[in-house]
Amino acid sequence: MKVTKAVIPAAGLGTRVLPATKAMPKEMLPIVDKPAIQYIVEEAVRSGITDILIITNRGKGLIEDHFDRAPELEAKLTGSQKEAMFHSVVDISKLANIYFVRQKETKGLGHAVNCARSFVGNEPFAVLYGDDVIIGEDPACGQLIRAYEEFGQGVLGVKEVTPEAIVKYSSLKVDPIRDNLYQCTDMVEKPSPDKILSLFSILGRCVLPPEIFDILDRTQPGAGGEIQLTDAMCQLARTTGMVAVDFTGKRYDMGNKLGIMQAQVELALKHPEIGGDFKAYLKEIASSL
Ligand code: UTP
């Protein structure tokens, strides 16, 4: 079955980026001139997704406004010289069919995904974590969708992380299939050092079958007292199996300060308008460090 629906959970509290995220959702933090969540929606659209549900909560109205029309602003930009600017504003509202639902209590990523049940229905769907921006020629979400279409199992976007980082993420038990594809048969969220299964961790993307919702209904709070998506996916991995894709593309974690600055610097260097000037500036700064 073709994967055309995606869910973007964006209802976290973003405590690691306070005070920036006190009133502003972390998903709206800009990388040069676009908010993080726009990069994520664009990746989904390039992957063949037509319908996107963004999970929000109180105080995330800015996200809804960003994907809406802005008639007053558009009126100001309708003049020949501002054509490009006009399109940069209007085109955002035409990217896909974008829907919103609120997660009424912040009970974890698994709980957030479970809010998508009626939107998803009985179809496979992609999940793109709202604070993980992945930049690459071949969109990461599309790489996972291709694996879903080939194997008919849930798919995880994975990368190897350092031993220091793995204890803060998930850790997967994997066996090679071919190239960058692995069979995943077990996983653990935030493992203690003696429970690490491998340095492969789920980073920001997965494609799930609709059976995940019944599993989520039964999933008890896990690490951090939250309903963990990893715990529900672990059930799938142990029963039907899941496929892990070591995706190509650079991933930026917009949920922590260092990740935000790495995204800013690297994408500013590639930016068509300011890239050259920024590089010269960075070289000057670097020479004095
Ligand atoms: P994180 O755990 O990174 O988000 O969740 P957080 O809770 O905002 O982070 P900190 O620890 O307080 O800084 C990964 C993704 O899941 C969403 C977040 O918005 C983020 O995109 N999420 C998390 C929800 O939608 N609901 C939740 O209850 C938790």
Residue-level length of the chain:
289
Ligand 1 atom at minimal distance to the Cα of residue 105? 28
Distance between CA 5 and CA 107 in Å, rounded?
Answer: 23
What's the distance, CA 266 to chain centroid? 18
Ligand 1 atom at minimal distance to the Cα of residue 17? 13
- Write down the pLDDT at residue 1: 79
Chain segment 82-119, per-residue pLDDT in tens:
888 888 898 898 889 999 999 999 999 999 999 999 99
- Distance (angstroms) between ligand 1 centre and the Cα of 205 equals 14
- What residues line ligand 1, using a CB cutoff of 6 Å? 9-16, 55, 103, 106-109, 111-112, 129-131, 255
Q: In this structure, are residues 128 and 208 in contact, taking their beta carbons and an 8 Å threshold?
A: no
The mean pLDDT value for 33-42 works out to 97
Per-residue tokens: 237? 């991995």
pLDDT over 80 at 144, yes or no: yes
- Best residue among 7, 26, 109 to mutate for probing ligand 1's pocket (most ligand atoms within 8 Å of CB) is 109
Distance between CA 264 and CA 254 in Å, rounded?
Answer: 10
Nearest CA to ligand 1 atom 3: 255
Per-residue tokens: 217? 């209904």
Residue for token pair 């190239």? 179
pLDDT over 70 at 267, yes or no: yes
- Write down the pLDDT at residue 78: 83
Q: Could you tell me the CA-to-CA distances from 192 to 166, 187, 196 in Å, in that order?
A: 9, 13, 7
Residue for token pair 């769907």? 125
The mean pLDDT value for 275-289 works out to 95
Distance between CA 210 and CA 28 in Å, rounded?
Answer: 29
- Write down the pLDDT at residue 223: 83
Distance between CA 152 and CA 145 in Å, rounded?
Answer: 10
Q: Could you tell me the CA-to-CA distances from 3 to 58, 86, 207, 238, 274 in Å, in that order?
A: 29, 32, 8, 23, 36
- Write down the pLDDT at residue 80: 65
This model's pTM is above 0.85: yes
- Write down the pLDDT at residue 241: 95
Quote the mean pLDDT of the chain: 95
Distance between CA 237 and CA 173 in Å, rounded?
Answer: 9
The mean pLDDT value for 202-226 works out to 95
- Write down the pLDDT at residue 94: 87
SS3 188: strand
Nearest CA to ligand 1 atom 22: 12
- Best residue among 8, 13, 216 to mutate for probing ligand 1's pocket (most ligand atoms within 8 Å of CB) is 13
Chain segment 236-252, per-residue pLDDT in tens:
999 999 999 999 999 99
Ligand 1 atom at minimal distance to the Cα of residue 10? 19
- Write down the pLDDT at residue 224: 86
Number of C-beta neighbours around residue 272 at 10 A = 6
- Write down the pLDDT at residue 85: 87
